[in-house]
A and B are shown apart, each in its own frame.
Chain A
């Protein structure tokens, strides 16, 4: 198992390299980007860029310079805000986005697991159809639709919850977390239901019943581990989706997180910011994917035991 972990981590390195390389060269190819000969920028920015990126040097050198800076944790100066560096912006936005993603995933996992398990106990009954239809809504109403609707209903019409900001007014974290997490709650509910149903259909569950065990024991001790495996495998892509989804949610709810900065950077063509954020988020996603894969593998005793 530890061999597998090492192997996966090592596999991750070329992936990260690809991420950085592709991002760098894409940005470089961008019309009007920092590497474009014809650009109209305020002179201070030009001066900063020239200092940092050595823009007259050959491409390879520029790339390795950037790589070197990255490894030192330096993402460079912002393209649009002359006096701020990308690092600063990331440092202010990342913790907020993390918090949002954390709440969202709590919402998703707790609701999703509970609903999915309830549905799997009595398939094709009301206990199954009702929550699963609700889950379908979660899948078919994306965050950028659900968010505004929730804002409209709870914020504007009913005025129960605040609709913008993060940490300013009490309860302003509720709507964003729910908006972001709802779709994932739906996916997790469906995966849980599917996984549980498949496990409950296996022979060893029949053996457990023949041993006279209670429903609760069968569910939690025997079925859960196998039934959860699709959910665990999903966590990696889920986090990736959450981080991407934060772009939309932060925009709608005016939350000063990394996602919102990214969207603004995209609009403003703040290339260094885009580059830095892309690389950071991508690295996070790659690492979290590896982690979730390893956890999923660990849950299988056969793989866990293999040297």
Chain B
């Protein structure tokens, strides 16, 4: 950390400051794996958005005469048992997987952040009560409940990401509350109170910008967890229902015929894995970039 020394000319031009975000961005850029993750995600999101225009075939287009064929020039990733182009299905499936991932994370984000901020800032009895509820809910085996929910009511797409999102909000609430609590004890918050700012002004200007970092990291790590859970449900036949399909569904289908047509398993598998890789590396990188404590100091020798 360089300490500013007085410039020779007192009337000199204002020097630019280096915000913590800029600092973090520099650190992130140096992390090659994290940048790989970032570019990969941007690419995937771009492909997903452009899918209707770039998919080589229609989603439903079958070619029964052809049946399942290995990768070729006309079908880059091959076709499935009904002659549907795998690349196309992969692109459309990706949209669904990514959509569920982002939507479910958004659900957990909204609920978790609100809950955690209120509990952490207000403190006292309110905090104790809110966190007690979280503790109780945490003890419930949510995954099983979600499975149960999907078994019972399974047909709704909205229900899917609501349910998945509701599994993750608890951890988000805990993290946010912890951050907000430790922030509230810092003296610049007291200074803001003494200055005469209202609670909402303090939360908006002083609390939120300082909580953003860990929240961002957590979001980046929640999305892959959510996508994984969706794929898991779809694999069991409880997630995304036909006619829609996601990568999980494609993998499930691929497993059935994996001996004869391995490409039907391998390509969706790669797609899912790469996405999860990218998000996890990015999340890890963000966490390291935003946390000034450096790992190099930890050698034991």
Contacts and interface: CB of A to CB of B under 8 A. Distances in A.
A244 B300 contact: no
Interface string B216-256: 00000000100010011001111000000000100110110
Interface residues of A, number: 58
Contact of A219 (B139, B255, B300): B300
Given A136-B281, A140-B277, A144-B235, A240 B255 contact: no
A33 B152 CA distance: 9
Interface residues of B, number: 45
A269 interface: yes
Contact of B152 (A27, A215, A244, A251): A27
Contact of B300 (A121, A137, A144, A274): A121
Interface stretch (B17-25, B62-70, B98-106, B143-151): B143-151
A14 interface: yes
Interface stretch (B42-50, B173-181, B265-273): B265-273
A22 B296 contact: no
Interface in B244-301: 248, 251-252, 254-255, 258-259, 262, 265, 269, 272-273, 276-277, 280-281, 293, 295-301
Contacts of B136: 11, 14-15, 18
Given A12-B139, A148-B258, A240-B143, A26 B299 contact: no
Given A144-B255, A266-B236, A22 B272 contact: no
Contacts, number: 124
A278 B265 contact: no
B152 A26 contact: yes
B295 A124 contact: yes
A149 B272 CA distance: 14
Contacts of B280: 136, 139-140
Given A121-B300, A152-B265, A281 B144 contact: yes
A152 B258 contact: yes
Contact of B298 (A142, A149, A200, A266): A200
A110 interface: no
A229 interface: no
A252 B255 contact: yes
A97 B5 CA distance: 67
B125 interface: no
A218 interface: yes
Classify the interface of chain B: helix, strand, loop or mixed: helix
B228 to A, nearest CB: 5
Nearest to A12: B139
A19 interface: yes
A274 B228 contact: no
B195 interface: no
Nearest to B224: A140
A26 B252 CA distance: 27
B11 interface: no
B251 A145 contact: yes
B3 interface: no
A184 interface: no
A200 B273 contact: no
A145 B273 contact: yes
B144 A123 contact: no
Nearest to A199: B298
B16 interface: no
Interface in A246-264: 247-248, 251-252, 263
Interface stretch (A59-67, A100-108, A282-290): A282-290
Interface of B: 136, 139-141, 143-145, 147-149, 151-153, 224, 228, 231-232, 235-238, 248, 251-252, 254-255, 258-259, 262, 265, 269, 272-273, 276-277, 280-281, 293, 295-301
8 closest Cβ pairs, A-B complex: A140-B276, A285-B141, A30-B152, A144-B235, A15-B139, A148-B255, A140-B277, A282-B141
5 contacts: A140-B280, A148-B258, A201-B297, A252-B255, A286-B141
